[in-house]
Amino acid sequence: MKKVILTKQAPAPIGPYSQAIESGPFLFCSGQIPIDPSSGQVFTGDLKAQTELVMKNVEAVLKEAGLSFKHVVKTTIFLTNMNDFATVNEVYGKYFSEQPPARSTVAVAGLPKGVNVEVEVIAARGA
């Protein structure tokens, strides 16, 4: 059985997908990009600011499900330029200071809305 997670504190889905799906003890979160949920505007400026907004959006989805970053067991980071890895990693690391999750980082040709970074997570209750 699956449960759809939806919060107005994160950007509304821009396609046929859910912000997150809860199934059993797991929460599968769709990738978040730097969209301001209050305005719906895409932010394509400073990469650190983009990454902060992405992580705040991820946090809002986790919170709606009653979870936090400490419950995240796996992340995937998508970058349009692998040269941005250190900058994104600096911001990302602030959210996972203890027992960081497993992670993959992938360079891609492009991301939705022309952004430079997207982060998806999988969380688990009891983690």
pLDDT score at 14: 84
How much is the pLDDT for 32?
Answer: 97
Give the pLDDT of residue 47.
95
- Give the model's pLDDT for residue 126: 87
pLDDT at 91: 98
Could you give all domains of the chain from N- to C-terminal order, each with its CATH number?
A: 2-124 (3.30.1330.40)
Instruction: Report the C-alpha gap between 121 and 75 in whole angstroms.
Output: 4
Q: What is the pLDDT of residue 30?
A: 98
The contacts of residue 99 (CB under 8 Å, 6+ apart) are 70
Strands (E) in 80-124, as ranges, are 102-107, 117-124
Give residue 127's pLDDT.
74
Regions of the chain short of the pLDDT cut 50: none
In 3D space, the residue among 124, 92, 94 whose CA is nearest the CA of residue 105 turns out to be 92
pLDDT tens-digit readout, 30-45: 999 999 999 999 998 8
What contacts 77, CB < 8 A, 6 or more positions away?
88, 92, 103, 104, 105, 106, 117, 118, 119
Q: What is the pLDDT of residue 45?
A: 87
